[in-house]
Amino acid sequence: MTDLAHDAAAQRKISNRLRRAQGQLAAVIAAVEADAPCRDVVQQLAAVSKALDRAGFLVISTALKDCLGDPDADQDTQTDELEKLFLSLA
């Protein structure tokens, strides 16, 4: 799998998405503590979940690019590992 440190653009995008999710999670906590309406809390939770999913998919797509670029790698092992990663986000 790829080392994200070697793909600075992907690393920056992932960090930005995670920071966004962190801010959204803080908003969820504040909404719960303020006894906000259920709809507001659920909407914020959905935003957090989506932000985390997008970060995860970006990590996997970065790894996938690396796998496709390595013709000497064991294809079965890479396929199994990528499948497990995708399923972990499902």
**What's the whole-model pTM score?**
0.68
Give the number of other CB atoms < 10 A from CB of residue 24.
Answer: 20
Measure the CA–CA gap between 20 and 26, rounded to whole angstroms: 10
Tell me: the pLDDT tens digits for 27-63? 999 999 999 999 999 999 999 999 998 888 888 888 7
Topology given in CATH for the domain delimited by 4-89: Methane Monooxygenase Hydroxylase; Chain G, domain 1 (1.20.58)
